[in-house]
Structure formats: structure tokens, C-alpha cells
Homo-oligomer: A and B are copies of this chain.
């Protein structure tokens, strides 16, 4: 058997094992799942030494391969980060279990009582890149929602990920749940991803988490439904009626509070009627927060010294202390800009005009649309989901933050008394 054949056979067997484990996990009660999660959390802490040892090998290999300091930092597992992973799992224990509830029960004219029961999706495949904590976070959410999971992490973190997976599997076993409910693909060649994306008989949903290249390639090759967690090119539109000081505060928060994340603002759109008063103030505050502005000609005129924006600045996800600024003649022009350059992630309007607020909310097609608040609220914890596996920018199945409920689906159930179809 050649190399490719070996990888394929391995991936097939890992995915089939997860599928075989899925029914037992789907049937498992909340108490058993919580016991497994507690054992996972405790296992990560009690085996911190082992985790740091395995992580050290990844770091060493990364240095030898010339990874950047930022990349090495993402890889690093220290006591604080191990504690964070363990605490994260502990929080999932306290979330309500969505599985098994029946909603919308109604009696049909023929007496049949029809409802929808929430059920796990089955097997979820997670394809991710360098951060090893994803192994623990994603597995915990999948287990709590009754799903088996197949994890395929990046090559840089292979030893750390394998060590975490080993601990999580031990915890499942100690709680009487099938170990293969958390399955890990221990090979990191590209062919492993391609083979995984062909296992439509075993995997029900693929969630890729990573850069644009990874996500595009997964979407192109997958035979399994994919929920993209794609880039965030988030906009704030400052309407002519906005209150200036609160608007400045919200904009600075959206851009500068944590610029490296997907819900940070990347482009500021300003109504031309408020530009003369708002632009100088927001520019001063942004500069004070270390933000570099790239402006349209009108912005450059109003705020001398601003770098002129090029076409490439519109729609750019900087993930950095850089902000594109454009003056627009109307809210329609702002919405047209968002339609053209946005990524369906998060947009906000700042206004005192009720009709415009409601129209923006209705017509802008993003996973979260806000009135008078920072884009930084697009997050499962902030929106009340309790936890999230990521933020979907795919409209199918779940749009926006995905919590436990979004990792489930529902089937129809019906109670009859011998009803037949006429």
C-alpha cells in the first residue's frame, strides 16, 4: 500500500469509529455527559506535566521550521492556558443540555400529536489550524450536544493535540461513554483532510476553522455539508443623526479593544452630513488608540494627514490597528458598500433616527446587525448562547455564533392512536 493509501485507510477507520460511537453518545443522558466533561477538565489539570512535555516537542519542531514568534505563541501551552482549557470545559458542564427536548407540540385535526425533538447532528468533523485549545473546546461542545467528533488539527500542534485528545478519550472511558466519541486523526498531511472530506457516510457536518485558504479548499473538496467560519470584514455606519460622543466611543471600542479578532470593525462609513463634526473627533480618538486611518478623498480632506485609501482597502480584513474610512452620501450608499465589500459577519448603525435604525436592521444581511452598539458583541457568550464553537457566516443551518443548540437539529415526532392516511 502506498503512502496515500495508508493515510486514506487510517482516516476511514477513524471516521467509522466515530460514527459507530455516535449512537451511544446521542443516547447518553446529561449526567453521564457532564461526568465525562468533568473528568476531561480534571484530566487536563492532573496531566499538565505530560501536556507541557508534548507541547515542548511541538515548540522545538516549530522553531526548527522557523515559525514566527506569533505562531509559536499560539502554539504554547503553559499552566495558565491549561487551566483556561480546563475551566472552559467546566463552563460547558453548567450549560443546559439541548438534546431530547420536544418543542412546538400541536394536535392535528386527526388527533395526531406532532412536535419536534431536538437531537444531535451525529458526527461533526472539525478541521483547524494551530491553536491546541481548539481540541479541548470543540470536543467539549460536541460531547455536551451529544455529537461524536473527528478532530484534525494543524501539523504544528500535532503532539499537543494528540496529548489533549488522549486525555479527553480517557475521560470518556472513565464516564462509561465510548472513547471514539472523540476521535483524532493523527496524521497531518494534506491528503488526510481530503480523505476526511470524502467520508460523507460517516461525518454529518464539517466545521473548518482557520484562514481563508483552508476554508476555500475545504468548501471546494467537501462532499459533506460545511459551515464556514469565515473572515469578518465588519462595518459601522455612522448616520447623520448619530450622537457624536457615544459614536466615537463605540467606534474606538469596535476597532481597538481587540483588533486581531473577526468581530473588530475594519471599515467605518460616515454620512456626509455628520462628517465635518464627527470625522475630526473620531480621527483624534483613533489616533490616540494607536489606530492608523486609510481614508477616502473626503476623509483625507477633513482629516489632513490621513493616508489615502486604495481600492484594496475596501473589504480588507486588517486584523490590526488599521481602519478604512469612507464618507457616503446616504444610508443606501452605506448599505450598498456593505453588500459589495462585507463578509456577512457583523455590521452596526449608529443613529438616533428610528426609521433608519429599523431599516438598517432589516435590510443588512449579516449574521449580527446592531443598532447603537459595538461590533465586538458578535460572540456566543455576549449574545447569551453560553459558549460557542465559532461564528458561522454560512446562512444554512446556523448563521452567527454557534452554541450547543446550533450543534443539534430536530426530528419530527408524532403520537397517534392508530391514525391512517385517508
Chain A interfacial positions (CB closer than 8 Å to B):
23, 26-27, 100, 106, 108, 112, 114, 117, 119, 121-122, 200, 204-205, 219-220, 223, 225-227, 243, 246, 249-250, 253-254, 257-258, 339, 357, 361-363, 365-374, 376-378, 382-384, 394-401, 409-421
- Extra A-B contacts (11), CB below 8 Å, given A369-B412, A374-B419, A397-B409: A114-B383, A225-B225, A250-B418, A250-B420, A253-B421, A368-B414, A370-B416, A371-B414, A383-B414, A396-B396, A399-B411
Q: Which B residues lie within 8 Å of A249 (CB)?
A: 418, 420
Is there contact, CB below 8 Å, between A377 and B219? no
Q: How far is the CA of A204 from the CA of B250 in the complex (A)?
A: 32
Q: Which of B370, B419, B420 contacts A414 (CB 8 A)?
A: B370
Q: Which B residues lie within 8 Å of A398 (CB)?
A: 409
Q: Which B residues lie within 8 Å of A26 (CB)?
A: 363, 365
Q: How far is the CA of A316 from the CA of B280 in the complex (A)?
A: 72
Q: How far is the CA of A253 from the CA of B419 in the complex (A)?
A: 9
Q: How far is the CA of A231 from the CA of B17 in the complex (A)?
A: 25
Min CB distance A282 to B, Å, is 14
The 18 listed contacts between A and B (C-beta, < 8 Å) are A27-B362, A108-B384, A112-B382, A117-B361, A117-B362, A205-B395, A225-B226, A225-B397, A249-B420, A250-B418, A253-B420, A361-B413, A366-B411, A369-B412, A370-B413, A370-B415, A371-B416, A373-B417
Q: How far is the CA of A421 from the CA of B370 in the complex (A)?
A: 13
Q: How far is the CA of A128 from the CA of B353 in the complex (A)?
A: 47
Q: Which of B23, B117, B371, B419 contacts A373 (CB 8 A)?
A: B419
Q: Which B residues lie within 8 Å of A254 (CB)?
A: 420
Task: Using A122-B395, A377-B419, A419-B377 as known contacts, say yes or no to A369 and B250 having CB atoms under 8 A apart.
Answer: no
Q: Which of B225, B257, B361, B415 contacts A372 (CB 8 A)?
A: B415
Q: Which B residues lie within 8 Å of A257 (CB)?
A: 420-421
Q: How far is the CA of A378 from the CA of B420 in the complex (A)?
A: 12
Q: Which B residues lie within 8 Å of A415 (CB)?
A: 357, 370-373
Q: Which B residues lie within 8 Å of A227 (CB)?
A: 396
Min CB distance A261 to B, Å, is 10
Is there contact, CB below 8 Å, between A27 and B365? no
Is there contact, CB below 8 Å, between A414 and B377? yes
Q: Which B residues lie within 8 Å of A373 (CB)?
A: 112, 414-420
Q: Which B residues lie within 8 Å of A384 (CB)?
A: 106, 108, 114
Q: How far is the CA of A23 from the CA of B332 in the complex (A)?
A: 13
Q: Which B residues lie within 8 Å of A413 (CB)?
A: 361, 368-370
A-B pairs with lowest CB-CB distance, top 4: A373-B416, A253-B420, A376-B421, A246-B418
Closest to A252 in B: B420
Is there contact, CB below 8 Å, between B225 and A368? no
Q: Which B residues lie within 8 Å of A220 (CB)?
A: 223
Q: How far is the CA of A185 from the CA of B209 in the complex (A)?
A: 35
Q: Which B residues lie within 8 Å of A383 (CB)?
A: 108, 114, 412, 414
Is there contact, CB below 8 Å, between B362 and A411? no
**Interface core residue of A369, A373, A382, A394 (most chain B CB under 10 Å):** A373
Q: How far is the CA of A7 from the CA of B177 in the complex (A)?
A: 53
Closest to A359 in B: B27
Task: Using A100-B362, A219-B223 as known contacts, say yes or no to A204 and B414 having CB atoms under 8 A apart.
Answer: no
Q: How far is the CA of A27 from the CA of B359 in the complex (A)?
A: 10
Q: Which B residues lie within 8 Å of A205 (CB)?
A: 395-396
Is there contact, CB below 8 Å, between A395 and B200? no
Q: How far is the CA of A373 from the CA of B401 in the complex (A)?
A: 38
Q: How far is the CA of A226 from the CA of B204 in the complex (A)?
A: 12
